[in-house]
Amino acid sequence: MQSSSSSVLSPDWSAIIAVVLGVTAFSVAQGLTYPLVSLTLEAQGYSSSLIGVNAIAYAAGMGASTLLVGSLTARWRPDRLIIFSLVVCSLCLATFAASSSFVVWGVARFLLGFFTSMIFMLGEAWLNAACPDRLRGRVSGLYGMGICGGFAAGPLAIPLFGSAGGLGFALTAVYLAIVAFATAMLMFSTRTVPEPSSTADVFRFFKAAPVLVGMVFIFGFADIAAISAMPVYFVKMGYSESFAALSVTVLALPTALAQPFIGVLLDKLPRERVALAAVGTAAFSYLMLPSMTSQIAILGIFALMGVAVFSLYTCALTILGERYSGAMLVAGAAAFALVYAAGSAAGSGLTGAIMEAAGPQAGPLSVGLGLAAFTVLLVFARRR
């Protein structure tokens, strides 16, 4: 059984399809639970602070899984852990549909964060282990499209099925159960599996790959700033709430559709140059946003922003598989999860605080300047 990505001469398509299916399902579940849990708890009369506590339970679960992924992969095969994680996620969503207890929801939210993060980390490692380097960018692009599409599709359950009665949770639970079964069937024909890792490997990766870690941090920062802070920016600048909501859709759809094309570029061009172009374009889009006055121009630059920002992650994932193999693949994926969480927390909180202190336009300008500074750092890193 192969485990090193460098030893794979032909793609293990069964593993690749299983990973894309599993991570897309994870993204649908996360895209649904973020807004739907908050809306349901608010409708039940819980305060904003308690709703925040419930959200913290999800983040705590994600953090715990990052620290425990090494010991879990040492005991159980990673591919079987992915199936088990999908089943537990399905049960968590079914719990949301069946119970109204705040404590039960908190426990379910913690477990959901834990096992969705496990799917994310092990899936990325397995994807790279199953993929020859000549196709790595294209496969990472398909993976990125699955993540973006899942996040965009998840919230659609709310207008379709409403936030009351738990129907959205129940149907998503059934969907995850079906994906878990399909993934199990695909595993009968897989040829690869990621190697076990350890917590020490995670911290070793931070030291070995600071540029990749920085790319994912900047991605998390700019991605969440676009999704959460920029709609607020639009409202503060006098645009309607419907326009702000439309901007998120315009951000998500082109981003999903563009990732396979970014993957082709990663396989045809030097990957560091593609990453440099992505972060530079993201910086340009943020810096240009305050000067846009036409709504069409704003939506156009916003679509470009989404494509460029998410392409940073597709680049980082591709370069991870190119440079590392074995246990370091799982360690790298776990490190990515940690720094993405840190970057997204900073992107949401810091951008909002800057807009409050210095005015709405300071929000996109500050993110753009941060991206521009990282572009300069990438240039120096390439020269070294």
pLDDT tens figures, 87-145: 898 999 899 888 888 899 999 999 998 998 888 889 888 999 999 999 999 999 999 99
Crossing angle of helices 241-268 and 295-323, rounded to 10°: 40
CB-count burial class (<10 Å; 0-12, 13-18, 19+) for 243: middle
The residue among 304, 334, 325, 310 whose CA lies nearest residue 81 is 334
Distances (CA, A) of 34 to 55, 141, 151, 157, 266: 8, 24, 10, 12, 32
Per-range mean pLDDT, top range of 119-133, 150-164, 240-254, 261-275? 261-275
Looking at residue 5, its pLDDT comes to: 44
Calculate mean pLDDT across residues 73-80. 84
pLDDT at 203 over 90: no
Where is pLDDT greater, at 40 or 317? 317
Residue type, 294: S
Q: Is the pTM of this model over 0.85?
A: yes
pLDDT at 25 over 60: yes
pLDDT at 39 over 80: no
Calculate mean pLDDT across residues 182-210. 85
Where is pLDDT greater, at 232 or 307? 307
In tens, the pLDDT along 299-348 reads 999 899 999 999 999 999 999 999 998 889 989 999 998 898 888 878 77
Where is pLDDT greater, at 33 or 113? 113
Looking at residue 193, its pLDDT comes to: 81
Looking at residue 135, its pLDDT comes to: 93
Looking at residue 110, its pLDDT comes to: 92
H-type helices in the chain, by residue range?
Answer: 13-43, 48-75, 78-98, 102-129, 136-153, 157-161, 167-186, 199-208, 210-224, 230-236, 241-268, 271-288, 295-323, 327-358, 362-383
> How far is CA 85 from its chain centroid?
17
**Any idea what the Cα angle at residue 223 is, between residues 222 and 224, rounded to 5°?**
95
Binning pLDDT at 50, 70 and 90, where does residue 8 land? low
Looking at residue 27, its pLDDT comes to: 83
Burial code (b: 16+ CB inside 10 Å, e: under 16) for 319-334 equals bbbbebbbbbbbbbbb
Calculate mean pLDDT across residues 174-181. 87
Where is pLDDT greater, at 39 or 204? 204
CB-count burial class (<10 Å; 0-12, 13-18, 19+) for 1: exposed
Say if CB 22 and CB 179 are below 8 A apart: yes
| Residues 126, 79: Cα–Cα separation, whole Å | 8
Calculate mean pLDDT across residues 34-41. 76
Per-range mean pLDDT, top range of 21-30, 120-129, 262-271? 262-271
Binning pLDDT at 50, 70 and 90, where does residue 164 land? low
pLDDT at 6 over 70: no
Looking at residue 205, its pLDDT comes to: 93
The residue among 311, 333, 309 whose CA lies nearest residue 229 is 309
Looking at residue 274, its pLDDT comes to: 95
| Residues 244, 241: Cα–Cα separation, whole Å | 5
Where is pLDDT greater, at 199 or 219? 219
The residue among 55, 30, 29, 31 whose CA lies nearest residue 42 is 55
